[in-house]
């Protein structure tokens, strides 16, 4: 019997949720993280009074009431609603595609006019069996919107021409025939007041946390002190890449404080949808919290190829990687003492609400079997 019921590797959202649930049920937990801070990729750093989303824009949104109630135990959430602006060579469009977008693109005013224009556009480019992303997108939305709002952005994100990308990447391109520019359809949305780091710190309240500790460098001693390990790092790294390396897409962020600019772009997120601009988005962090103070912090977001050692942002869920992950999953199933969770442990893109929901399910399964 170890000193702790659970050793939780990773003080990100999954690790913090697991630790909270287990501690509240009377289990003794130790949380470790190799980073010098808690919160993993939802980490926000306070720069001159502005909470900066260090690992990209994070907007909490969910329709799951249990997840929303859990999230609200550790912070009050503000009323931030994500309304993205797309900048195509200086022309500004509302995203996701809605009546404001169609009005700007074609001058249509009513939903019936927009529907007729969309049908006309789709008929122009329709292909019965799209062979690549370009054909697929034009079949779904027509050439005008594709050229200005989909093509360049998607090519930058994937680092490849749309004609070289598989059609299945875009299954749907949702359109709204209303003047509703809320990016998400969920019932609940917001940003924790005081930043995500404070939110995670509150979630971890009263729980032992050790930072700057890499499990893989101290596994022999750490394994001895706990009965079960909850591992939220990369599953292939845990097994020393014995079956091969999983691949990711990465991002590069360039963040700067502008002391003499109080409002840089009037919105938290502006997408740059042409192919020539090298970054995909500019974030202006004060707008996540309706900040009014002097100065501002902006971040240019660049898509990047991933190589081992880089921050792994998005799993590259192609056939090769999914097959490899399955093999690691089988290895993990035969390994009685460790359970993999979170985005890296499960090699899956999870929004924050999915992360909490998956953790709640895992926790129930682990503690009732």
Least separation, in Å, of the C-beta of 62 and ligand FAD?
8
| 197 touches ligand FAD (CB under 6 A) | no
Q: Strand, coil or helix: what is 203? A: helix
Least separation, in Å, of the C-beta of 206 and ligand FAD?
19
| 304 touches ligand FAD (CB under 6 A) | no
Whether residue 210 lies in the annotated active site = no
Contact pattern for ligand FAD over residues 232 through 251, marking x by CB under 6 A: xx-----------------x
| Number of shown-chain residues binding ligand FAD (CB under 6 A) | 35
| 226 touches ligand FAD (CB under 6 A) | no
Q: How far is 250 from 66, CA to CA, in rounded Å?
A: 32
Concatenated DSSP letters for 127-161? Answer: -SS--SHHHHHHHHH-HHHIIIIIIHHHHHHHTS-
Which of these, 251, 269, 273, 271, lies nearest to 152 by C-alpha position?
Answer: 273
Whether residue 320 lies in the annotated active site = no
Angle formed at CA 135 by CA 270 and CA 102, multiple of 5 degrees: 45
Catalytic residue from among 34, 35, 219, 249: 249
Least separation, in Å, of the C-beta of 186 and ligand FAD?
10
Which are the contacts of 336, defined by CB distance < 8 A and separation ≥ 6? none
DSSP code for 291: -
Q: Which of 8, 10, 105, 176 forms a contact with ligand FAD (CB under 6 A)?
A: 10
| 34 touches ligand FAD (CB under 6 A) | yes
Angle formed at CA 312 by CA 275 and CA 330, multiple of 5 degrees: 130
Query: In this chain, which stretch among 84-92, 199-207, 271-279, 349-357 interacts with ligand FAD, using CB under 6 A?
Result: 349-357
Question: Closest CB to ligand FAD among 159 and 293?
Answer: 159
| 209 touches ligand FAD (CB under 6 A) | no
Which of these, 118, 148, 156, 155, lies nearest to 133 by C-alpha position?
Answer: 155
Q: In what order do the strands lie in the sheet with 269-272?
A: 91-95, 84-88, 269-272, 281-284, 296-305, 248-258, 314-315
Sign of CA dihedral 341, 32, 59, 191: positive
Q: Which of 5, 12, 145, 148 forms a contact with ligand FAD (CB under 6 A)?
A: 12
Least separation, in Å, of the C-beta of 256 and ligand FAD?
18
Catalytic residue from among 4, 134, 281, 289: 281
Least separation, in Å, of the C-beta of 16 and ligand FAD?
7
Q: How far is 163 from 183, CA to CA, in rounded Å?
A: 27
Least separation, in Å, of the C-beta of 89 and ligand FAD?
25
Contact pattern for ligand FAD over residues 58 through 77, marking x by CB under 6 A: xxx-----------------
Contact pattern for ligand FAD over residues 156 through 175, marking x by CB under 6 A: --------------------
| 281 touches ligand FAD (CB under 6 A) | no
Yes or no: say if 291 and 225 are a contact pair by the CB < 8 Å rule.
no
| 42 touches ligand FAD (CB under 6 A) | yes
Q: Strand, coil or helix: what is 118? A: helix
Structure tokens at 154: 């998607």
Please give the sequence-ordered ranges of beta strands (E in DSSP) within 262-307, or none if there are none: 269-272, 281-284, 296-305
Residues that bind ligand FAD (CB under 6 A): 9-15, 32-35, 40-42, 55-60, 214-216, 232-233, 251, 313, 342-344, 350-353, 355
The set of catalytic residues is 172, 176, 249, 281, 301, 349, 351
């Amino acid at each position: 019997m170890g000193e702790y019921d659970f050793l939780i590797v990773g003080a990100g959202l999954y690790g913090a949720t697991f630790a909270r649930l287990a501690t509240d049920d009377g289990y003794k937990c130790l949380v470790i993280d190799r980073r010098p801070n808690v919160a993993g990729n939802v980490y926000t750093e306070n720069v001159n009074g502005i909470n900066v989303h260090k690992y990209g824009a994070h907007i909490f949104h969910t329709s799951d009431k249990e997840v929303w109630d859990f999230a609200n135990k550790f912070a009050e959430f503000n009323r931030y609603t994500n309304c993205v602006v797309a900048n195509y060579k200086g022309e500004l469009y509302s995203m996701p595609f809605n009546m404001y977008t169609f009005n700007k693109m074609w001058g249509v005013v009513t939903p019936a006019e927009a529907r007729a224009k969309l049908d006309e556009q789709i008929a122009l480019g329709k292909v019965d069996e799209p062979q690549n992303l370009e054909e697929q997108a034009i079949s779904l939305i027509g050439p005008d919107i594709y050229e200005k709002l989909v093509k360049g952005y998607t090519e930058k994100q994937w680092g490849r021409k749309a004609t070289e990308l598989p059609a299945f990447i875009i299954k749907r391109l949702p359109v709204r025939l209303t003047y509703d520019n809320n990016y998400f359809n969920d019932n609940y949305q917001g940003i924790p007041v005081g930043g995500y780091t404070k939110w995670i710190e509150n979630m971890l309240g009263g729980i032992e946390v050790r930072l700057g500790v890499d499990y893989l460098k101290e596994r022999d001693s750490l394994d001895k002190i706990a009965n079960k390990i909850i591992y939220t790092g990369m599953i292939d790294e845990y097994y020393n890449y014995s079956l091969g390396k999983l691949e990711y897409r990465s991002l590069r962020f360039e963040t700067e404080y502008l002391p003499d600019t109080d409002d840089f772009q009037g919105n938290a997120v502006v997408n740059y949808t042409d192919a020539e601009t090298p970054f995909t988005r500019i974030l202006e962090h004060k707008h996540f919290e309706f900040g009014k103070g002097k100065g501002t912090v902006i971040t240019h977001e660049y898509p990047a190829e991933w190589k081992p050692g880089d921050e792994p942002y998005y799993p590259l869920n192609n056939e090769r990687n999914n097959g490899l992950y399955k093999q690691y999953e089988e290895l993990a199933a035969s390994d009685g003492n460790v359970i993999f969770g979170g985005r890296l442990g499960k090699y899956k893109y999870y929004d924050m609400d999915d992360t909490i929901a998956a953790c709640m399910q895992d926790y129930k399964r682990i503690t009732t079997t």
